Structure 1
Amino acid sequence: MYRFLLTPRWWGINIFVVLAIPFCVFMGSWQLGKFEDRVDTHQEAQQKPDPGEQKAAPLDELLPVDSETSGRQAMATGQYGRQFLVPDRQLDEKRGAYVLTMLKTDGGRTLPVVRGWLAEGDRVPAAPAGPVTVTGALQASETSGTDGVHAAGGLPNGQLGMISAASLVNLVPDDVYDAWVTLSDADSGLKPVPATAPAGSGLDLKAFQNLGYTGEWFVFAGFVLFMWFRLLRRETEAARDVALGLDPA
Structure 2
Amino acid sequence: MLRPRWIAMLLFALLVAGVFAWLGQWQLSTAIDTDPVPAGATEEIRPIADVVAPGEYLEEPLVGQKVEVDGAWVPDDFIVVSSRFNDDVQGYWVTGQLRTADPEAALAVAIGWTASRADADAAARTLNDAATGERVTLTGRIISDEGPRVPDAGEDPLEQSRMSPAALLSRWHLPEGGIDVFRPYLTSTDPTGALADAGLEPISSPAPELGSPINWLNIFYAVEWAVFAGFAFYLWYRLARDAWEREVEEFEGVDPDEE
Gaps of 5+ in 2: none
After TM superposition, give the deviation of residue 222 of structure 1 in Å.
1.9
Task: Tell me the distance in 1 between the aligned counterparts of 2:28 and 2:85.
Answer: 33
Which SS does the other structure have where 2:31 is aligned? helix
Which SS does the other structure have where 2:245 is aligned? helix
TM-score, with length taken from structure 2: 0.66
Is the counterpart of residue 184 in structure 1 residue 183 in structure 2? no
CA contact (8 A) 2:148 2:164 kept: no
CA distance 1:95–1:105, shift in 2 (3 Å): same
Is the counterpart of residue 216 in structure 1 residue 211 in structure 2? no
* % identity of equivalent residues: 21
Letter aligned with residue 33 of structure 1? S
CA contact (8 A) 2:143 2:187 kept: no
Which SS does the other structure have where 2:254 is aligned? coil
Mapping of residues 32-181 of structure 1, within 5 Å: 32-36=28-32, 39-42=33-36, 44-46=37-39, 49-54=40-45, 57=47, 59-60=48-49, 63-64=52-53, 71-81=65-75, 82-93=77-88, 95-96=90-91, 98-105=93-100, 109-119=105-115, 123-124=119-120, 125-126=123-124, 128=127, 129-130=130-131, 131=134, 133-139=136-142, 141-142=144-145, 149-150=146-147, 152-154=149-151, 156-159=157-160, 161=162, 163-164=164-165, 166-172=166-172, 173-174=174-175, 175-178=179-182, 179-181=184-186
Which structure: larger Rg? 2
TM-score, with length taken from structure 1: 0.68
Gaps of 5+ in 1: 143-148
CA distance 1:221–1:99, shift in 2 (3 Å): farther
Letter aligned with residue 27 of structure 1? L
Letter aligned with residue 104 of structure 1? R
Task: Tell me the distance in 2 between the aligned counterparts of 1:17 and 1:87.
Answer: 58
- How many pairs align? 228
Task: Tell me the distance in 1 between the aligned counterparts of 2:213 and 2:118.
Answer: 33
Which SS does the other structure have where 1:154 is aligned? coil
Q: CA RMSD in A?
A: 3.9
Task: Tell me the distance in 2 between the aligned counterparts of 1:95 and 1:19.
Answer: 58
Which SS does the other structure have where 1:139 is aligned? strand
After TM superposition, give the deviation of residue 99 of structure 1 in Å.
3.3
Match of 1:6? 5
Task: Tell me the distance in 1 between the aligned counterparts of 2:213 and 2:80.
Answer: 28
CA contact (8 A) 1:100 1:115 kept: yes
CA distance 1:219–1:162, shift in 2 (3 Å): farther
